[in-house]
Amino acid sequence: MNNNEEFDVERVDDIPVLLAVLERMGIQPLLDKHFMTHGNWQGISLGWVAVVWLSYILSQADHRLSHVQSWAENRLETLSISTGTAIRALDLSDDRLQAVLRYLSDSLHWEKFEQELGGNLIQAYDLKAERVRLDPTTASSYCGVNEQGLFQYGYSKDHRPDLAQIKVMLATLDPLGMPVATDIVAGNKADDPLYCPAITRVRETLKKTGLLYVGDSKMGAMQTRWFIHEQGDYYLVPLSATQIPESVLTSYLMEREQTAQELTEVYRDLDSGEPTKIAEAFEIEVEQMAEFEGNKINWKERHLVVRSIKIANAAQNSLKERVQQAQLELEQLNQPRKGKKRLIGLSSYQNEVERIIEKYQVEGLLNVEYATERKISQRRAYKGQPAQIIKEELVTLSVQVLSEALTQKLTSCSWRVYATNSPSEQLSVTDGVLVYRDEYLVEKGFGRMKGFPLSLTPMYLQREDHIIGLIRLLSIGLRLLTLLEFEMRRSLSKNDEKISGIYPGNPKRKTARPSSELLLAAFKEISLVSVPIALGGNRYLTKFSPIHQQILIRLNIPLKIYTNLADDEGPPPSTSGEPSVMVSHLRE
């Protein structure tokens, strides 16, 4: 008899870690508190279904409902021991998961749940609420447009204008990027009106004023800035070219020169480990006035005028190259153009010059002079055609670069204005630049939600209530990823330490800023082996290594989440002539 065929093996992987973090977050009891299920609901509660499903989504990077039941069926021991609840595969059926999504799509109950969850997490993880970032994104679907529904055609941030989309607004807490509020609106809705409702939700959750709200230029609408200011909060937003036209920017630069205001150089530690100059900036204070509902409001606003060194160099090189290309193409108008229609007359030359200048965007940087010469020639009679006198207007161009204008354009290249009502004591020029440069934090959250590991897109669901519920479920998963990452980095920074053994193919590589994805991937390949009763009937854990212990200790997660899966006895015996099952058995 081949005893190895009787061994039952379950893939454990990172499931106990995910369930332990979800337990610390208090997701299951909080969901059951705010989403009361129908009296006919059987099996484990809605909260437990959502928690186990989230562990599947995060572990497998897949939100498809049809795969969850079979996944759970192959891990019943692990799930039941880790949750302390008897889990059946039927508890994770398609119908049950769809029911969970329908409950989560209830906006009234969701907002109460999200508000209480945010307050609990801030206390449990001792988070300092000082800055909040807001930004919307879109998620596309093949489900088609519903005229009265959420899926509409609109400006696609996924570069898929051919697909119907839904829009998601996230308000996230710095520096970890944890969502505080999640709003879902129609895909054709403008971004500007989404900020004030999200800010209101944040205020209700954090119950604190004096926060700094950071967003993109869409948050720079005057009404939004006033809305933030009049409640005693602060904002930091870049202003668009419409809000700060080039003439105003030029006046700022001239004012700085006239007052001899020094530029503030902004440095940052990049991958090289050495401080690198990334920008230079100065500030100008302006008096801002707005009128809302018949009332005039005045407040002081600081305009941080910033030039990114990297972007400025690229823009200057691009401008010089465009000027050279435009000059060369204009001078070629003096030469016969093989295969192209000949230009005749001054007006045709002027039209072609305007086209080339507009093409290369070098208006006001080139001086083009026209020299005209009238030429009269006689054409002989030929094949019945009479002799003719031909009058032609020959045009010659001379092109010169306007050096002074080019120098001024290069000097003003890549300056951008950030607006803030925060006093300089709280937000210096340097801080303002660095804070906005961390805008990638919310973009990283979008990447996780739409891509790996939460995998919202491509979207396999069709019903809008299911999709709304799924997005809200994934926002809980995003909270887990940010908190896991934050907790590990905070633990390492306390003693200025680094962790190794988590990079595939390079176990000696160390980092002080590991991502959640790397930490969870380190637990892959851990399995639970159940030995047949004839051989002892024990359970053993394979491939649980010191690096796993180290990660759990850093995260303040007890080792028993894994060791409780196995029994106390030693490794399983091997029968004569048969390969033994290699296991490791670790206890606290």
pLDDT tens column, 137-178: 999 887 778 777 898 998 888 888 888 899 999 999 998 899
How much of the chain is in helix, strand and coil states, percent to nearest 5?
45, 20, 35
**Phi, psi of 184, rounded to the nearest 5 degrees:** -125, 125
Q: What is the DSSP string of 162-202?
A: TSEEEEEEEEEETTTTEEEEEEEEETTS-SGGGHHHHHHHH
Handedness of CA 178, 180, 186, 188 (dihedral sign): negative
Owner of token pair 């015996």? 573
pLDDT at site 532: 79
**Token reading at 327:** 């000059």
Burial class for 113, CB neighbours closer than 10 Å (0-12, 13-18, 19+)? buried
**Token reading at 203:** 């205020």
> If phi over 0 gives left and psi between -120 and 50 gives alpha, with beta otherwise, what is residue 455?
left
Strands 212-214 and 234-238: what pairing?
A: parallel
Please give the Cα distance from 56 to 64 (Å, whole number): 10
Residues in CB range of 449: below 8 A, 6 or more apart: 168, 456, 471, 474, 475, 478
H helices of 301-345, in order, are: 309-331
Please give the Cα distance from 135 to 194 (Å, whole number): 9
pLDDT-derived band of residue 271, with 50, 70 and 90 as boundaries? low
pLDDT at site 297: 83
Around Cβ 138, how many Cβ atoms within 10 Å?
A: 21
Please state the rounded mean pLDDT for residues 264-268.
92
Tell me the C-alpha to C-alpha distance, in Å, between residue 529 and each of 79, 98, 236. Answer: 14, 32, 55
Q: Output DSSP code: residue 585.
A: -
pLDDT tens by residue, 46-87: 999 999 999 999 999 999 999 999 999 999 999 999 999 999
- Average pLDDT in the chain: 89
pLDDT tens by residue, 197-226: 999 999 999 999 999 999 999 999 999 999
For residue 539, which amino acid is it?
Answer: R
Please state the rounded mean pLDDT for residues 466-480.
96
Is residue 339 scored above 80 in pLDDT? no
Please state the rounded mean pLDDT for residues 480-500.
94
CA dihedral 551, 557, 558, 561 (to 10 degrees): -90
Please state the rounded mean pLDDT for residues 467-489.
96
Please state the rounded mean pLDDT for residues 472-493.
96
For residue 391, which amino acid is it?
Answer: K
What share of the chain has pLDDT > 90, as a percent? 66
Please give the Cα distance from 19 to 54 (Å, whole number): 9
Please state the rounded mean pLDDT for residues 416-440.
93
Q: What is the DSSP string of 279-312?
A: EEEEEEEEEEEEEETTEEEEEEEEEEEEEEHHHH
Residues in CB range of 326: below 8 A, 6 or more apart: 356, 357, 359, 360, 362, 366
pLDDT-derived band of residue 579, with 50, 70 and 90 as boundaries? very low
pLDDT at site 39: 83
Q: Output DSSP code: residue 31.
A: H
pLDDT tens by residue, 539-562: 889 999 999 999 999 999 999 999
Is residue 342 scored above 80 in pLDDT? no
The answer to whether the CB of 454 falls within 8 A of the CB of 58 is yes
Tell me the C-alpha to C-alpha distance, in Å, between residue 193 and each of 51, 60, 158, 170. Answer: 33, 36, 21, 14
Please give the Cα distance from 504 to 145 (Å, whole number): 43
Please give the Cα distance from 98 to 473 (Å, whole number): 12
pLDDT tens by residue, 166-176: 999 999 999 88
Is residue 378 scored above 90 in pLDDT? no
> If phi over 0 gives left and psi between -120 and 50 gives alpha, with beta otherwise, what is residue 177?
left
pLDDT at site 2: 44
pLDDT tens by residue, 86-126: 999 999 999 999 999 999 999 999 999 999 999 999 999 99
**Phi, psi of 38, rounded to the nearest 5 degrees:** -65, 155
Q: What is the DSSP string of 203-215?
A: HHHH---SPEEE-
Of the candidate ranges 262-276, 421-435, 478-492, the one whose mean pLDDT is the lowest: 262-276
What pTM value is reported for the model?
Answer: 0.85
